Amino acid sequence: MTFAIPGFDYQRVAVDDDVTLNVAVGGTGRPIVLLHGFPQTHVMWRHVAADLAADHTVICPDLRGYGASDKPAARDGDTYSKRTMAADIVTLAGKLGHERFALAGHDRGALVAIRAGLDHPATITHLATLDVLPTLDMWDILHGTTAAVAFHLYLMAQPPGLPEQMISASADAFFGYFLDVWTQSPQAIPADLRAEYLKASREAVPSIIADYRASAGIDIEHDQADRAAGSRLTMPVTVVQQDWGAALGYDAAALWRTWAADLEHRTTSAGHFMAEEAPDEIIKMLRSLLAR
């Protein structure tokens, strides 16, 4: 591992029969778990984690299927459902001695965080999501002529075979494209770290695809069941994202309000990798959430 969060301890924690997560833990105080997104690892939280560790216990795992965590072969949709990935995180925190904790996620990690908030309302004290839409809403918005901006969702949703072959054949070009295009501040991800993200992603092609594929299937079913049952996020929630509502023509705050009663909705001028591009803004937002 080239990159590590300075001052954090690294452990491997078994969360399932055949799944061990790589996790960085630092600081002392009330616990907060930070979940990374695509195509990255826990290292994306390095700035935010270092700050929060001054007065919190900060836990930064690599998600199942990503980074240095285990990448079990997908037996079915469940293996990489957000429900399963969220259960990993609850188990992980429990094994580290935290029955209740705050949870913040970026991108794929935010989808895991939302699912954890819905499935484990007594465990998650505060919830923050960075630059993502709930799965159900994402599919409602990104289709038709708009789908090209999210072509990777549709490619990776295809049955096993094609996406694995095509992405494996062009892994660095594929993952590098998103790292380059989604940022507003390229210097936020230096070349050596970019190379590390690419290596980590290149070595995780089947599991990354399985994570996305689950979002076109079983994750939607879980969201729909919650919507039908009227389940909502009950803890304080902060959503921060780029101004997708303006870009794609929908009311982002209203959309999130259907999922979260106690909601603070913010837009940022930073790019997608906001925890690296604008760490001070994200730190301030998280500290404000933790004070609610």
Partner 1 sequence: MFDGFEAFDIGTAGASVHGRVGGEGPPVLLLHGIPETHRMWHRVAPRLADHHTVVVTDLRGYGDSGKPPSTADHEPYSMRAIGADQLEVMRRLGYDTFSVVGHDRGARCAYRLALDHPEAVTRLGVIDVVPVGDAYDRADKDFSLAYWQWSFLAAPEPVPEQFIGAAPATLVDFMLDTWAEVKDAFPAEVRAEYVAKFSDPETVHAICEEFRAAATLDYEQDEADRGHRRIECPVLFLWSEHGAVAKLYDDPLAMWRAWAGDVRGGPVPVGHFIPEEAPEETTRQLVDFLR
Please write down the HEC assignment for all residues of 62-127.
CCCCCCCCCCCCCCCHHHHCHHHHHHHHHHHHHHCCCCCEEEEEECHHHHHHHHHHHHCCCCEEEE
CB of 206 to partner 1, least distance (A): 16
Residues 165-194 that bind partner 1 (CB under 8 A): 165-167, 169-170, 173-174, 177, 181
User: Rounded to an integer, what distance in angstroms lies between the CA atom of residue 204 and that of residue 171?
Assistant: 10
User: Rounded to an integer, what distance in angstroms lies between the CA atom of residue 139 and that of residue 223?
Assistant: 12
CB of 77 to partner 1, least distance (A): 15
Q: At what angle do helices 205-215 and 162-169 cross, to 10 degrees?
A: 140
- Angle at CA 84, nearest 5°, toward 10 and 12? 15
Tokens of 173: 């070009």
Is 145 a binder of partner 1 (CB under 8 A)? yes
Q: Which helix (H) or strand (E) holds 55?
A: none
User: Rounded to an integer, what distance in angstroms lies between the CA atom of residue 4 and that of residue 10?
Assistant: 9
Instruction: Exactly one of 70, 107, 137, 226 is catalytic; name it.
Output: 107
Between 139 and 273, name the residue whose CB sits nearer to partner 1: 139
Q: Which segment (50-58, 106-114, 118-126, 157-165) binds partner 1 by CB under 8 A?
A: 157-165
Between 55 and 140, name the residue whose CB sits nearer to partner 1: 140
Between 96 and 150, name the residue whose CB sits nearer to partner 1: 150
CB of 260 to partner 1, least distance (A): 23
Is 247 a binder of partner 1 (CB under 8 A)? no
Active site (annotated) includes residue 107: yes
Site size toward partner 1, by CB under 8 A: 27
Provide the residue type at 164 as one letter. E
CB of 147 to partner 1, least distance (A): 4
Is 158 a binder of partner 1 (CB under 8 A)? yes
Is 147 a binder of partner 1 (CB under 8 A)? yes
CB of 214 to partner 1, least distance (A): 14
Within the chain, strands assigned E span: 9-16, 19-26, 30-35, 56-61, 101-106, 124-130, 237-241, 263-267
Among 6, 28, 55, 151, binds partner 1 (CB under 8 A): 151
Active site (annotated) includes residue 137: no
Q: Which segment (67-75, 106-114, 139-147, 271-279) binds partner 1 by CB under 8 A?
A: 139-147
Active site amino acids: 107, 272
